[in-house]
Amino acid sequence: MPRSTTSGPSQRMLRVGEQVRHALSETLQRGEIIDPLIENSVVSVSEVRMSPDLKIATAFVSPLGAKDADAVIEALNKHAKFIRGRVSGALRQMKYMPEFRFRQDTSFDNFARINDLLKSPEVARDLDGDDNKDDE
């Protein structure tokens, strides 16, 4: 089977990443991690990217209600081995249990920045100019 020339994730990587995301979300939701930083904030798992060999899972999370998001990410990374053990029950079909790495999800910040740019007067002026050209 010929391999694609694009460097994007494979279907398998995407499928496994989504399964890991669900299992990780359930584990965090149950509150099994004994850490005040994690217990006092809601952690949203927006995406899990798997390495090509499926041995590393990078989870992009957003700590909601946390004063210091970086401290929550650091606490999650500190408890990564414990989380790995708790998630393993939901992922029995995997040959290897992936190592977890937690990163802050900045996609919402990027969406807000793009939205602000689209609402700026300069962009609105340019967009209004395009509408006038269609009428001609």
Q: What is the 3-state secondary structure (H, E, C) of 28-46?
A: HHCCCCCCHHHHCCEEEEE
Give the domain range for residue 133: 106-136
Q: What is the average pLDDT score of the chain?
A: 84
Domain count of the fold of the chain: 2
Closest CA to 102 of 19, 46, 29: 46
Tell me: do 69 and 127 sit in the same domain: no
- 115 and 91 assigned to the same domain: no
pLDDT of residue 20: 94
Q: 133 pLDDT band (50/70/90 cuts)?
A: low
- Measured distance CA(20)–CA(115) in Å, rounded: 30
- What's the residue count for the chain? 136
In a shared domain, residues 61 and 110: no
Tell me the β-bridge partners of 102.
Answer: 59
The residues pairing with 57 across neighbouring beta strands, listed in sequence order, are 50, 100
Lowest mean pLDDT among 12-26, 33-47, 98-112: 98-112
pLDDT tens sequence across 71-122: 999 999 999 999 999 998 888 878 889 999 999 988 767 767 777 777 888 7
| Same domain, residue pair 132 and 77 | no
Using an 8 Å Cβ cutoff, are 98 and 54 in contact? Answer: yes
Same domain, 45 and 91: yes
Is residue 62 within 8 A of residue 43, CB to CB? The reply is yes
66 and 117 assigned to the same domain: no
- Give the pLDDT confidence score for residue 79 in this predicted structure: 95
For 103-126, the DSSP string reads EE--HHHHHHHHHHHHHSHHHHHH
List the single range of 28-42, 44-58, 72-86, 110-124 with lowest mean pLDDT.
110-124
Residue 5 belongs to a domain: no
Q: Residue 37 domain-assigned? A: yes
Token reading at 59: 């989870």
Question: What is the pTM for the complete model shown?
Answer: 0.74
